[in-house]
């Protein structure tokens, strides 16, 4: 059988203080699959400038790390330009929903736009053309984490997620998870929503061969149980609820939450309690591993070829031109959103889930725009052979933080700053044959 060439191009789009990544997978003749990771910026003009740099036909899957404005504010603009078939995001359980609401509340009460989203988040997405919504449960704890096994034969039993009624049975990817809830209709069948377990993966196949060729592994890190317990005690009688559950919050819970946050006095009390779990920016956030499936032939990698906006002079790693095809690691890319990879429990679970894949990573997006409090040296050391990327507006005082730059310098790490400057985008191109 004749081998077929497979090409993936991944680019971090320059949108300033925010996040917008586009990955396109093609064979020798056509585009097979397009995905995005996050879609927003604190500056609308910066995002629209980045969006104009994209030539998109359709987004098969949009992964949303979390629902902060700088990661989702561009969804409206993106949906107005291209069709978004599926959105994958962390499960809107009671804890996650409360965190979103508290952060969105201004100095007084909850904004009407946020109330509208929280009242019907899935309807909000379907109204923007999304056909399918997948919620991934946050991890429970480190003990239950299953390391992703690169060898398909070594994977634990998992369920293939069925295509929902009315969906495209010929779509070029397969979703697997250890727990799959039944799909529920949204907007009278205009869309569906389904909840999957924490150990979820997506395999993209080459047309006509049904051979898994590209791997996407989303992972929502666990939240410290001691922080959840402290928050629950602080809320007390004002809002009696267990926040330990990982399933979708009920409509009754959402209604009560909005009532509390719509009253100024109650809003202030709940936000004061929320500071217990938010003071270290330890937010629920989805990370995404994206890379070739194992054992690919003729793997070749190329990268952006300019050192742009270097935060410190040397040492640095040579960036090879796109015309020079080389092999460095394994052609993979990891996005982290605002994951707190400094907190021990979160970090341990994250490293355990991605542990066998880290040697393949060529590009690593530093969490929380290069905050010094969001990453531990253990993670930096494990990914030190990767290109470190920070996504932040130019001139920000703590993004990237000077202390983090010093730590990266001590490990002789390579760093690239993707800002709002159109020339600062970073591209990784990976080709191989199957």
Domain count, the chain: 1
What SS3 state is found at 145?
coil
| pLDDT score of 287 more than 50 | yes
Residue 33 sits in a domain whose CATH number is: 3.60.15.10
Whole-number pLDDT of residue 312: 43
Domain that holds residue 172: 5-223+282-433
For residue 354, name the pLDDT band (cuts at 50, 70, 90): very high
Cα 159 from Cα 174, distance rounded (Å): 10
Residue with tokens 């040492």: 315
132 is a domain residue: yes
Predicted pLDDT of residue 50: 92
Name the pLDDT band for 269 (thresholds 50, 70, 90). Answer: confident
Q: Is 231 helix (H, G, I), strand (E, B) or coil?
A: helix
CB atoms within 10 A of CB 432: 21
pLDDT, position 106: 67
> Of 236-250, 294-308, 367-381, 387-401, which gets the smallest average pLDDT?
294-308
Average pLDDT estimate for 218-234: 88
pLDDT at 167: 84
pLDDT value, residue 286: 96
In a domain, 267, yes or no: no
- Residue 308, pLDDT above cutoff 60: no
Phi, psi of 204 (to 5 degrees): -95, 135
Res 317 pLDDT > 50: no
Residue 422 phi/psi, 5-degree rounding, is -55, -25
Please give the pLDDT value at position 325: 39
Residue 56 is assigned to a structural domain of this protein: yes
Residue 74 falls inside a structural domain? yes
Whether 127 shows a pLDDT value over 60: the answer reads yes
pLDDT category at 79 given cuts 50, 70, 90 is: very high
Rounded to 5°, angle at Cα 209 from 173 and 194: 15
pLDDT-derived band of residue 107, with 50, 70 and 90 as boundaries? low
Question: How far is residue 115's CA from residue 99's CA, in Å, rounded to a whole number?
Answer: 13
Q: Please state whether beta strands 387-391 and 414-418 pair in parallel, antiparallel, or not at all (unpaired).
A: parallel
Percent of the chain with pLDDT over 90: 46
Confidence at residue 366, expressed as pLDDT on a 0 to 100 scale: 96
Band the pLDDT of 64: cuts 50, 70, 90. very high
Per-residue pLDDT reduced to its tens digit, 108-119:
666 767 778 888
User: Is 156 inside any structural domain?
Assistant: yes
In a domain, 403, yes or no: yes
Contact 364, 387 (CB under 8 A): yes
Q: According to the model, what pLDDT value does residue 208 have? A: 56
pLDDT band at residue 1 using 50, 70 and 90 as cut-offs: low
Three-class secondary structure of residue 215 per DSSP: strand
Predicted confidence band of residue 156 (pLDDT cuts 50, 70, 90) = low
Beta strands in 371-419 (DSSP E): 387-391, 414-418
Cα 303 → chain centroid: 21
Q: Report if residue 244 sits inside a domain.
A: no
Q: Is residue 271 part of a domain?
A: no
Whole-structure pTM value: 0.92
Run of H or E residues at 116? helix 112-119
Q: What is the 8-class DSSP label of residue 374?
A: G
Q: Residue 313: pLDDT band by 50, 70, 90 thresholds?
A: very low
Mean per-residue pLDDT of the chain = 85
Nearest to 319 by CA among 413, 418, 387: 387
The answer to which of 166-175, 207-216, 394-403 has the lowest mean pLDDT is 207-216
| Residue 24, beta-bridge partner list | 9, 34
Is residue 87 a contact partner of residue 286, using CB atoms and an 8 Å limit?
Answer: no
Q: 429, 8 in Cβ contact below 8 A? A: yes
């Amino acid at each position: 059988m004749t081998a077929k060439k497979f090409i993936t191009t991944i680019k971090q789009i320059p949108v300033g203080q925010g996040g917008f990544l586009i990955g396109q997978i093609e064979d020798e003749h056509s585009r097979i699959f397009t995905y995005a990771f996050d879609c927003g910026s604190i500056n609308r003009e910066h995002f629209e400038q980045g969006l104009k740099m994209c030539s998109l036909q359709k987004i098969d899957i949009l992964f949303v790390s979390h629902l902060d404005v700088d990661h989702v504010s561009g969804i409206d603009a993106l949906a107005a330009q291209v069709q978004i078939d599926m959105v994958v995001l962390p499960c809107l359980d009671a804890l996650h929903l409360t965190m979103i609401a508290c952060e969105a509340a201004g100095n007084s009460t909850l904004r009407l736009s946020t109330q509208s989203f929280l009242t019907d988040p899935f309807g909000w997405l379907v109204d923007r053309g999304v056909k399918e919504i997948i919620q991934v449960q946050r991890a429970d704890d480190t003990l239950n984490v299953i390391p992703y096994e690169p060898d398909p034969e070594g994977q634990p039993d998992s369920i293939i997620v069925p295509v929902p009624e009315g969906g495209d049975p010929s779509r070029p990817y397969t979703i697997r998870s250890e727990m799959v809830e039944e799909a529920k209709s949204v907007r009278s069948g205009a869309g569906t929503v389904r909840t999957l377990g924490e150990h979820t993966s997506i395999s993209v196949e080459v047309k006509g061969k049904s051979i898994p060729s590209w791997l996407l592994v989303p992972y929502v890190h666990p939240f410290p149980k001691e922080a959840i317990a402290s928050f629950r005690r602080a809320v007390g009688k004002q809002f009696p609820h267990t926040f330990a559950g990982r399933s979708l919050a009920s409509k009754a819970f959402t209604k009560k939450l909005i009532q509390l946050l719509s009253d100024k006095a109650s809003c202030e009390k709940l936000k004061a309690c929320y500071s217990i779990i938010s003071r270290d920016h330890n937010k629920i956030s989805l990370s995404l591993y994206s890379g070739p499936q194992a054992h690919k032939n003729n793997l070749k990698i190329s990268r952006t070829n300019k050192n742009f906006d270097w935060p410190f002079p040397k040492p640095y790693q040579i960036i090879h031109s796109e015309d020079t095809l080389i092999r460095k690691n394994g052609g993979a890319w990891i996005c982290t959103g605002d994951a707190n990879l400094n907190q021990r429990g979160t970090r341990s679970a994250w490293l355990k889930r991605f542990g066998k894949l880290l040697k393949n990573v060529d590009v690593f997006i530093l969490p929380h725009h290069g905050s010094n409090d969001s990453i531990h040296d253990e993670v930096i050391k494990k990914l030190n052979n990767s290109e470190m990327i920070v996504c932040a507006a130019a001139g920000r005082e703590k993004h990237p933080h000077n202390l983090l730059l010093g730590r990266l310098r001590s490990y002789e790490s390579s760093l690239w700053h993707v800002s709002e400057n159109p020339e600062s985008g970073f591209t990784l191109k990976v080709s191989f044959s199957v």
